[in-house]
């Protein structure tokens, strides 16, 4: 009998992938986790009925969440990732040779262990890098208690369902701001604005209430995340980071000697060109 996996996070809108072969399924301490193979998208990870990644298109999300903020910064040294237990964002961050330390704070150890077993190519050895520091903890508590200060905080969260709900709260964003260095930037996964506009609007409002000097978003299209391009929330004290010139981005990218499949300096600049319906959500 054919099994279909339904993503049901949107009201009146869904996505269905055929599970050609289920590799793993477990109710962890925090969430329901399933991994399966699909002919079109490869190996797929789903948490609480929300598709998290596929081996076919994961590079888009991971590259854009990582490289847009890091290439906007001048010599980022210390980076915090909240969530991201699959290791894909950490893999991309560690491509920046000037980064001295990456702290990955993941609430669910089972996500890391399962990803290492079934998706080793996603982290590609990142967990073994001496610059990587893995902390198993609630991200909200970590940013409230740590004395570390970060050049960039990357919130690689699921949608605001279950344990990730607190990662979309004003209190959490405020604690992140406290943990940022003066020139730092906070980037968040903010859903598909065509069908999740309230999510982006709420985060942008919280960023403004917390007196971030520059509040915006940028976009990238990942086929798995249906309904249009995905939005990445942007909050920074330095108003110049978002408008880093193409010439500067190209210089930094060339010096990094890294290979990417989606990110480029040109895509970086273009990703901040928002359609009016998205720009309006930022001001709602």
Structure tokens at 246: 């193409």
The span from the CA of 95 to the CA of 156, in Å, is: 17
The length of the chain in residues reads 284
- Rounded (10°) angle between helices 170-179 and 197-209: 50
Residue 73 class from Cβ within 10 Å (0-12 exposed, 13-18 middle, 19+ buried)?
buried
What residues act catalytically? 156
């Amino acid at each position: 009998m054919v099994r279909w996996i339904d993503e049901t996070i949107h009201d009146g809108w869904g996505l269905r992938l055929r599970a050609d072969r289920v590799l793993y399924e477990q109710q962890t301490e925090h969430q329901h986790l399933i991994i399966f193979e699909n002919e079109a998208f490869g190996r797929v990870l789903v948490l609480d009925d929300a598709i998290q990644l596929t081996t076919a298109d994961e590079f888009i999300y991971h590259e854009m969440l990582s490289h847009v903020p890091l290439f906007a910064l001048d010599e980022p040294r210390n980076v915090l990732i909240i969530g991201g237990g699959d290791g894909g964002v950490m893999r991309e961050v560690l491509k920046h040779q000037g980064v001295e330390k990456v702290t990955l704070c993941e609430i669910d150890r089972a996500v890391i262990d399962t990803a290492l077993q079934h998706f080793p190519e996603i982290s590609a050895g990142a967990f073994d890098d001496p610059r990587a520091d893995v902390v198993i903890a609630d991200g909200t508590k970590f940013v409230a208690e740590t004395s570390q200060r970060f050049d960039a905080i990357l919130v690689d969260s699921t949608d605001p369902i279950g344990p990730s709900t607190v990662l979309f709260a004003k209190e959490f964003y405020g604690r992140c701001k406290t943990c940022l260095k003066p020139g730092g930037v906070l980037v968040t996964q903010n859903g598909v604005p065509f069908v999740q506009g309230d999510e982006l609007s709420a985060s942008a409002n919280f960023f403004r209430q917390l007196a971030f000097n520059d509040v915006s978003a940028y976009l990238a299209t990942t086929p798995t995340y249906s309904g249009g391009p995905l939005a990445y929330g942007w909050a920074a004290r330095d108003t110049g980071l978002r408008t880093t010139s193409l010439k500067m981005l190209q210089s930094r990218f060339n010096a990094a000697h890294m290979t990417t499949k989606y990110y480029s300096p040109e895509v970086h600049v273009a990703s901040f060109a928002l359609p009016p319906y998205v720009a309006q959500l930022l001001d709602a």
